[in-house]
Amino acid sequence: MAKLQIREALRRAMVEEMQRDERIFLMGEEVAHYKGAYKVSQGMLEEFGPTRVVDTPISEGGFAGLGVGAAMVGMRPIIEFMTWNFSLVAYDQVINSAAKIYQMSGGQFSVPVVFRGPNGAAENLAAQHSTAVDSLYAHFPGLKVVTYADAHDAYGLLKAAIRDDNPVVFLESEMTYGVKGEVPDEEFIIPLGQANVRRTGSDVTLVTWGKQALNCMGVVDQLVSQGVDVEFIDLRSLRPLDHKTLFTSVAKTGRCVVVHEGHLFAGVGAEIAARIQEACFDYLEAPVLRVTNRDVPQPYATNLEKLVNPSPDRILAAINRVLGRA
């Protein structure tokens, strides 16, 4: 059992898959000679050479489109966006091409491409580099949208994404690349669409994904120490969504709080709350509450960042409210 940084777990997953299948290549800004903006691809150029670890110009629309075309003719590209904020200039390629070509071609073309890179807020990167794009991509059928909270899941989910024959949006985080966790030495794959129940409980269901799972862990420990039996679900996959795990939990606890980055209006949390209300209405003892970013562009100043992003205090307050303890 190795203890790896998340960046090392992601690198190990890519290296193993590229060793297994010569059709896989990595392409993006600074992935080769600079070893990745966040050193995720360190050492990969030396192992695989410049035809399989490819530096690109600053042209997301160009290299995202190249990746889609390469996938259509039998390659299996991994396209790295330096940040998902930059993917917005390639939105047409991801949405109108990658997500739709299989259906539009009547199944003649699959698009086995992974788009990956850091998502959401980091520290002091301000509005144009801090967007959480979860809802922007989860909205469209044809894409799978996946994220992780720890090194174990980063490794297992990325390997599954690379092997998938559909386009996969793989959301990472600058703030957690250096977080260490245990990853088994033997190879394993985590199926896409399978949530992780990090703690079972009977009083309230806490639902989150990505780095917000790390933000929630301390809150869960605090509530458990107060005698609150929290069921803690890390979704890991937004498309496909693990409805069975989600609905089974809420039917048991009768209460739910959803925590995620991104804005309250039309966020993924709104979709989850609506589906819970439709499927579990008779079991609910309180409204489903959401804790999200404040509905403003991300500020630069550290003190304002802390006010805008989900915080342990806000998560705790929402859980106490659904428990009638506010």
Question: Among all residues, which ones are annotated catalytic?
Answer: 60, 129
Q: CA angle, 18 as apex, 16 and 21 as ends, to 5°?
A: 110
Spell out the residues 6+ positions from residue 126 whose beta carbon is closer than 8 angstroms to its own: 298, 299, 300
What 3-state DSSP class applies to 323? Answer: coil
Amino acid at 213: A
24-28 and 53-55 strand pairing: parallel
Tokens encoding 162? 């690379």
Are 40 and 11 contacting, i.e. CB atoms less than 8 angstroms apart?
Answer: yes
Tokens encoding 251? 């039917």
**DSSP, residue by residue, 181-222:** EEE-SS---PPTT--EEEE--SSEEEEE-TTHHHHHHHHHHH
165 CB neighbour count, 10 Å cutoff: 11
Q: How far apart are alpha carbons 30 and 35 in whole angstroms?
A: 7
What 3-state DSSP class applies to 172? Answer: strand
Tokens encoding 106? 């009547």
